[in-house]
Amino acid sequence: MNNLKITEKIGYGFGDMASSMFWKVFSYYLPFFYSNVFGLTLDQVALLLIVTRVWDAVSDPMMGVIADRTHTKWGTYRPYLLFMAVPFALCGVLLFTTPSWGQQAKLIYAYASYILMMTVYTGINVPYGAMLGVMTENSAEKTSLSSFRMFFAYIGSFIVLFLWEPLVGHFGEVMSLQGSWQAAMTVIAIMCVVLFYLTFTMTRERVVTHASESVLKDVKALFRNAPFWILVCAALCSNLFMTLRGSTVAYFFKDYIPEGTQLTIGGMSVLFYAGLFLSVGEISNMAGVVFAAPLSVRIGKKNTFLFSMFVLAVLSIAFFFIPVNRIGFLLMLLLQVLICIFTGVISPLLWSMYADVADYSEYRYGSASVGLIFSSSSMAQKFGSAFGGAMVMWLLAAFGYQTAEGSVQTAEALTGLNLLMSIIPAGIALVAMVLVWLYPLTTSRMSEIDSALKDSRESLEMA
């Protein structure tokens, strides 16, 4: 039932293409922006990234509860794409605006604009994620939808990471450094509005889920849902793994890789810079997404997740031992490709597994709470990103990293940069493996649940 057309899957993918363009800039460049452009200290940036997530911890589940109980002619979750797209774009521009104020006033502005941005991000992204649970009731189709979602997310990530530094450089020729970052974000924001409107136009909601009348009952069901909590913790580790590496890249290339380093690839000389490293990773993520569905069909979602995390741990450890020379730089790029292929495998699995967890909740407790579950999973993603970004700031400070223009980094600081790209993420991947080992919703178990839900939903429709 509910075999979706390819155009609808593409339309759904456009939504995460938009979200990912913002998210990757936040994750990879916002800490650098705050410390090296906006003018905050490393400790101020770390605290800012953590404190803003306290509000996220409340706003995400709140948004999920609100979305679950929204009823319009456009559906339950879809209308949020229509009404939140423009505010989403405007808040992104404000986030990368540097006011000409005193230091204390600028710090207050940073908190206010970041909290506002993440609130609006929640308002559009939580309903968007929950749509996966109501566009089809077929578990395999959900995995396919999730794969399209992540494939287009990585297309968006590739575009923004490849273009970001050239855009900033282009606008920097005619305006200040602070103005160039704001202008670059304006270009990206306009693209995101168009993509969200396309998602709204090209998708439909088909499955009617049943959130209970009592919010308290939904929350109680969520707290008793063991598979959900296991998956949330594993997702937090997965996002922490990616954010630690991604947030370190701008600093790593500024100080660890000699400026102007050229690589010879296919007979061509290519500048080895952060944008190339990150954008190559996004292409590799897309390749991983392609493998996610066939791998999960062959060996199951759980086993695919376990295998991918094991490979990520091994490759990350290997990254630490790469020498700083031309051969080493090529090896770094190769390992980046391999690491990102396997993070690409994991990303669609997580969202498909969240949809399975929602089905389990409806089967076990009689309340799907799709929005609440997806909002709580979004909260885990944000916590992973926040702690990842904050950990980078704290560890850089602990290693003695200097942010002042023209600073020469100590050997300890350079080793710290290497650890943040390798050994520390490897340890997080191993923790994720242990968590997923405990996850109980195997392929055979989900087949039983899908069958039981189909019968109960048909009975409700007949009644």
Contact between 414 and 255 under an 8 Å Cβ cutoff? The reply is: yes
- The architecture in CATH of the region 7-452 reads Up-down Bundle (1.20)
Contact between 335 and 285 under an 8 Å Cβ cutoff? The reply is: no
> Per-residue pLDDT for the chain (463 aa), expressed as one digit of tens each?
457 889 999 999 999 999 999 988 887 888 889 988 998 998 898 889 888 876 766 787 788 878 888 888 888 899 999 999 999 999 999 999 999 999 999 999 999 999 999 899 989 988 998 888 788 877 778 778 888 888 898 889 889 988 898 899 999 999 999 999 999 999 999 999 999 999 999 999 887 765 555 667 777 777 778 888 898 889 889 888 988 898 899 889 988 888 778 887 777 788 788 888 888 888 898 888 888 888 888 888 899 999 999 999 999 999 999 998 889 999 999 999 999 999 989 987 887 788 788 888 777 777 666 667 776 676 776 677 777 878 888 999 999 998 777 778 899 999 999 999 999 999 999 999 999 999 888 878 888 887 887 777 666 555 5
User: What are the residue boundaries of the structural domains of the chain, listed by start?
Assistant: 7-452
How far does Cα 37 stand from its chain's mean position? 24
How confident is the model at residue 1, as a pLDDT?
Answer: 47
- Return d(Cα 102, Cα 18) in angstroms, integer: 33
Torsion angle in degrees (nearest 10) through CA of 431, 436, 439, 442: -170
Within 13 Å and on the Cβ side, how many CA atoms surround 46?
14
Structure token pair of residue 412: 């300890």
The pair phi, psi for residue 35, each rounded to 5°, is -85, -35
- Return d(Cα 404, Cα 327) in angstroms, integer: 30
- Return d(Cα 132, Cα 354) in angstroms, integer: 10
Closest by Cα among 370, 447, 299, 337 to 77: 370
Contact between 373 and 222 under an 8 Å Cβ cutoff? The reply is: yes
Q: Which amino acid type is present at position 134?
A: V
Q: Which amino acid type is present at position 132?
A: L
CA distances, 142 to each of 2, 12, 149, 255, 257 (Å): 10, 11, 10, 43, 42
Using DSSP's 3-state secondary structure scheme, residue 206 falls into coil
The pair phi, psi for residue 269, each rounded to 5°, is -95, 125
The pair phi, psi for residue 399, each rounded to 5°, is -80, -5
Q: For the chain, what's the residue count?
A: 463
Gyration radius from the chain CA atoms:
22
Closest by Cα among 231, 131, 138 to 435: 231
Query: Which residues contact residue 116 at a Cβ distance below 8 angstroms, ignoring those fewer than 6 apart?
Result: 91, 94
Closest by Cα among 425, 157, 437 to 312: 425
The pair phi, psi for residue 260, each rounded to 5°, is 85, 10
Structure token pair of residue 309: 């995390």
